[in-house]
Structure formats: C-alpha cells, structure tokens
C-alpha cells in the first residue's frame, strides 16, 4: 500500500489543486520546517491558514482527520529520517515568497 505522503508527491501538477493533495503538501512543509528549526510563528500561522482552507473543502469527520493525520505523520517520519540543509533553504524561500505574494495582493 502506498503511503499518504508518497501518493501526494507522486501526483502530476494538475492534482496539486485538489484540496487533499494541497493539505498533505502544507502539512509536509510544516513538518520539514519544524524539523529544520525554521518554523517561525509567521510561517506556522501562514501554513495553518492554508491547512484550514484545504480542510474546509473536504467533508471529513474529526475521526477521519485524526486517522489521516496519524498516517501522514507516520509517513513523513519514515520518509524524512533527516532533512538536508538545501531542502530547508528551498522551503524557507518558497514559503516566504508565497507569504509575500499573498500580502502584495
């Protein structure tokens, strides 16, 4: 059985617009930034906002979210026993640019 995170990462770019895939990507970014020590309060708030937006469009119960998040957390821990510095730097740049773009609108 494919993991939740692998399924999210393996999808074509078109699928990134789907709420669950967006949710998984945001949770992954949060996880990695936290592991890098780069999850600042501003980044955390931004990513939590994106998570809530993705969740709103999905009709999941609290139990379904808990099960999904538990599976996703286990997948991320397995996929990322360590996080390369370059990956951290890339995430910081991308998240900061996304936040700046949103503020400029």
Q: Is residue 18 very low, low, confident or very high in pLDDT (cuts 50, 70, 90)? A: confident
**What's the domain count of the chain?**
1
CB atoms within 10 A of CB 95: 22
DSSP state of 17: G
27-42 pLDDT tens trace? 999 999 999 999 999 9
pLDDT in tens, 43-102: 999 999 999 988 888 888 899 999 999 999 999 999 999 999 999 999 999 999 999 999
Q: In terms of residue numbers, what domain contains 100?
A: 4-104
Extract the runs of DSSP E, i.e. beta strands, from the chain.
Answer: none
Q: Which residue would you say has higher pLDDT here, 17 or 103?
A: 103
Task: Say if CB 92 and CB 44 are below 8 A apart.
Answer: no
> pTM of this prediction?
0.80
């Amino acid at each position: 059985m494919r993991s939740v995170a692998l399924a999210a990462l393996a999808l074509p770019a078109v699928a990134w617009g789907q709420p669950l895939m967006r949710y998984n990507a945001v949770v992954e970014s949060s996880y990695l930034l936290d592991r890098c020590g780069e999850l600042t309060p501003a980044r955390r708030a931004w990513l939590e906002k994106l998570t809530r937006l993705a969740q709103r469009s999905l009709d999941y119960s609290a139990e379904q979210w808990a099960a999904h998040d538990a599976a996703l957390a286990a997948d991320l821990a397995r996929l990322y026993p360590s996080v390369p510095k370059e990956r951290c730097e890339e995430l910081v740049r991308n998240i900061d640019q996304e936040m700046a773009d949103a503020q400029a609108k």
